[in-house]
Amino acid sequence: MRAMVVTKAGAPLSLEERDVPEPAAGQVRLRVHACGVCHGDVAMWQGIFPYKGFATYPRVPGHEVAGVVEAVGDGVSEHAAGDRVGVPWLFDSCGQCRSCRRGDGVYCKDTHVTGVTHDGGFQDHMIAPAHSVAKLPDGVPFEEAGPLMCAGLTVFNGLKEGNYRAGDRVAVIGLGGLGHVGVLYAAAMGARVAVISSHKDKAAEAERLGAELFIDSSQEDVAVALQAWGGADVILNTAPSAKVVTQAFPGLAQRGTCVVLGASPEMIEVKPGALLNGNRKLTGSTTGGPEDIRRALDFAAHNGIHPSLTRFGLDDAQAALEAHLNGTLTGRAVVLTE
């Protein structure tokens, strides 16, 4: 089988021929059909993963995996050959710590990550723990399911962490691979949506996706524009920028919440008065657990959420990483194995 491998941090992907693996007890083997490309894949490839020494090499990237179960190991009863499934960011965790017991395995100190500490979806076949694999709803194509396993889950949980209620005003910072999915989910939930971007050429795309307001952060006072709109009940920051969060935070409505989804090495500056005057909140959200994935996928299936995709063949996976790094993508990149 084919596998695209990062042999060491910063090295370009190399194509390897490997034997098809056999699942051990508690594991399943997937025939991978599609794998989305995320900023985490770029960070692993570049060797700039936020936690020093966490990523291990050589490694097959990819944690937005969608495919079909081919074989199951001993003791696996929840999946069978032929099941359409996906594999998320969380490959495995200890299952015993406080975080794991409350369903927050992504915060476990012994977290294992697909495509970072274990081989991911940039290959024809892969192994995953059966309990980490999610069944895909009928009617969701593999190429769309892949990005929903991470990008969809991230924005879905971000809206939940922001205490979103139907009819709220939601401002999405950034309209890249993650941001456009955020607009789709928010609009499908009945939100009034604004998009904040420094790229004014994104205005037409924002309107097409369902936004009623576009704010050019390179030309406008973001907070003033949001308050003129009525104030944002939820701000979803999908861009790796702390500066724009600082600009946007005073644009929250009373009891509004700014949810940071995009990582940045910069400091977010929020004056205490902006927090206290209106009981505003600043919080972060990453991915989620198995039940969160099920809800995010089911919501997408029943509400016709279709992420914009730029497709690459497995042999062109390096080009997908580079396009993500350079910001030249339209929508979400997805690597197809067929």
| Domain shared by 20 and 127, yes or no | yes
pLDDT tens per residue across span 302-319: 999 999 999 999 999 999
| Alpha helical stretches, state H, the chain | 39-46, 98-101, 142-147, 153-161, 179-188, 203-209, 222-229, 242-248, 272-276, 290-302, 317-326
Give the mean model confidence (pLDDT) for residues 134-150.
Answer: 94
The pLDDT value given to residue 287: 84
CATH number at residue 19: 3.90.180.10
Task: Give the count of alpha carbons within 13 A of 15, CB side only.
Answer: 10
| Domain shared by 38 and 114, yes or no | yes
| Domain shared by 181 and 201, yes or no | yes
Quick one: pLDDT band at residue 329, thresholds 50, 70, 90? confident
Token duo for residue 94: 């200890």
pLDDT tens per residue across span 216-226: 999 999 999 99
pLDDT tens per residue across span 52-97: 668 899 999 999 999 999 999 999 999 999 999 999 999 999 989 9
Q: Among residues 263, 284, 305, which one ends one of the domains?
A: 284
d(CA 163, CA 154): 14
Give the mean model confidence (pLDDT) for residues 33-37.
Answer: 97
The pLDDT value given to residue 327: 82
Residue 156 placed within a domain: no
Global pTM value: 0.93
Task: Please count the structural domains in the chain.
Answer: 2
Residue 133 near residue 31, CB atoms below 8 Å:
no
| Domain shared by 113 and 65, yes or no | yes
Domain that holds residue 315: 2-150+288-336
The pLDDT value given to residue 52: 60
CATH number at residue 273: 3.40.50.720
The pLDDT value given to residue 289: 82
| Domain shared by 137 and 203, yes or no | no
Residue 277 placed within a domain: yes
Q: Which percentage of the chain shows pLDDT scores above 70?
A: 99
Give the mean model confidence (pLDDT) for residues 231-250.
Answer: 94
Residue 264 has pLDDT above 80, yes or no: no
Residue 155 placed within a domain: no
Residue 107 has pLDDT above 90, yes or no: no
| Domain shared by 107 and 73, yes or no | yes
| Domain shared by 7 and 136, yes or no | yes
Residue 237 placed within a domain: yes
Residue 51 has pLDDT above 80, yes or no: no
The pLDDT value given to residue 54: 81
Q: Among residues 284, 301, 320, which one ends one of the domains?
A: 284
Residue 309 placed within a domain: yes
Residue 157 placed within a domain: no
pLDDT tens per residue across span 190-238: 999 999 999 999 999 999 999 999 999 999 999 999 999 999 999 999 9
Task: Give the count of alpha carbons within 13 A of 72, CB side only.
Answer: 17
Query: How high is the mean pLDDT of the chain?
Result: 94
| Domain shared by 144 and 171, yes or no | no
Residue 178 has pLDDT above 70, yes or no: yes
| Domain shared by 170 and 303, yes or no | no
